[in-house]
Structures are given as structure tokens and as C-alpha cells.
């Protein structure tokens, strides 16, 4: 069985997240998602709308996701890869090069993001009071 792992905050879940998870799962048989805890997000300077448990529940309901584990620090990735016997590490290409050190432990793949959507864009538009227009 080929195991794939990815990490993220996955706040305000949107179709860009689903696209990334679908493509990650297609690289193997079993997809593990390291989900940033509320505490780790605070360390990164991020504030989430949904709690860790709510975000975890959303991810667990997605058919591409087989297991959700807590991401508590940047440093845990090597331990996770070893513990779960991961074959492929996947992350968005906005991180290109940042996780190349993991190539000593597994294959590293940077996937392109869905260009027209992001959690940051949603938060900005909501803060400016913009509404989506349905055509």
C-alpha cells in the first residue's frame, strides 16, 4: 500500500482544498492529513474560524482522506513519515523547495494550487463585505 501525507490548516474548507486532497490521494492508496492544531496555528500567526475538532470532522468526511492526525510543529514531519511509513509527501507549490529535506525519507511532490481560490482570499473578501455573485 502506497501512503501519502500532506499538511495544512484547512480552515474555511473550499473546492481548492478538495482539489488538492483529490490529487494527493491519486498519488497513492492511503491519504494522511496532518491538520494544524489551534496552538500551532497561533505559533504561525494564523487565526482560524473553525476549531481543530471542527476542521478535523470536516476533513474526515471527505472520501479522499483516510486519516487525520494533529500537526503540532514544523519538526514532526520526519517522525510522522517514519511512524506511518509514508511513501510520498505532498504540499502546495507555494512551498516549493521548503520541504526538499524530506527527500531523504520519501518522495516529495509540490502540487499547483487552484489559482482562483484560497482561504486568505475568502477572508479578505468577507472582511470587505463582498458577496459572491452566482451566474
Task: Note if 46 is an active site residue.
Answer: yes
Helices (H), the chain: 15-25, 38-43, 52-60, 77-83, 119-127
44, 98, 103, 124: the catalytic one is 44
44 included as an active-site residue: yes
Q: How far apart are CA 75 and CA 38, in angstroms?
A: 17
Q: Quick check: 112 and 93 in contact, CB under 8 A?
A: yes
Instruction: List C-alpha distances in Å: 54 to 37, 49, 59, 78, 112.
Output: 11, 10, 9, 26, 26
Cβ(7)–Cβ(77) below 8 Å: yes
Active-site residue identified among 2, 3, 25, 46: 46
> 100 to each of 28, 109, 115, how far by Cα in Å?
20, 9, 23
Q: Which residues are catalytic, by number?
A: 44, 46
Amino acid at each position: 500500500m502506497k501512503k501519502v501525507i500532506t499538511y495544512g490548516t484547512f480552515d474555511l474548507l473550499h473546492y481548492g482544498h478538495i482539489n488538492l486532497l483529490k490529487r494527493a490521494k491519486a498519488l497513492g492508496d492511503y491519504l494522511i492529513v496532518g491538520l494544524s492544531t489551534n496552538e500551532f496555528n497561533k505559533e504561525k500567526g494564523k487565526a482560524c474560524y473553525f476549531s481543530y475538532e471542527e476542521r478535523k470532522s470536516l476533513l474526515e468526511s471527505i472520501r479522499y482522506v483516510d486519516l487525520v492526525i494533529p500537526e503540532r510543529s514544523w519538526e514532526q514531519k520526519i517522525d510522522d513519515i517514519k511512524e506511518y511509513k509514508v511513501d510520498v509527501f505532498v504540499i502546495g507549490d507555494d512551498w516549493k523547495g521548503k520541504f526538499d529535506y524530506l527527500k531523504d525519507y520519501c518522495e516529495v511532490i509540490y502540487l499547483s494550487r487552484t489559482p482562483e481560490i484560497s482561504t486568505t482570499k475568502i477572508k479578505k473578501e468577507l472582511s470587505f463585505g463582498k458577496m459572491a455573485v452566482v451566474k
